Amino acid sequence: MKKVDNQRAQTLAEEALKLMQEAKVLQQQAQCQAARILGYQQQSDGLAFKYLAAKAEHGEHSQQAFEAKQAWLHARKSVQARYPKFHGK
10 falls within a domain: yes
User: Confidence class of residue 88 from pLDDT cuts 50, 70 and 90?
Assistant: low
Range of the domain at 50: 1-82
Q: What is the pLDDT of residues 67-87, one digit of tens each?
A: 999 999 999 999 999 998 877
Number of domains in the chain: 1
Task: Tell if the pTM clears 0.85, that is, is over it.
Answer: no
> In whole angstroms, what is the distance from residue 63 CA to residue 54 CA?
9
89 falls within a domain: no
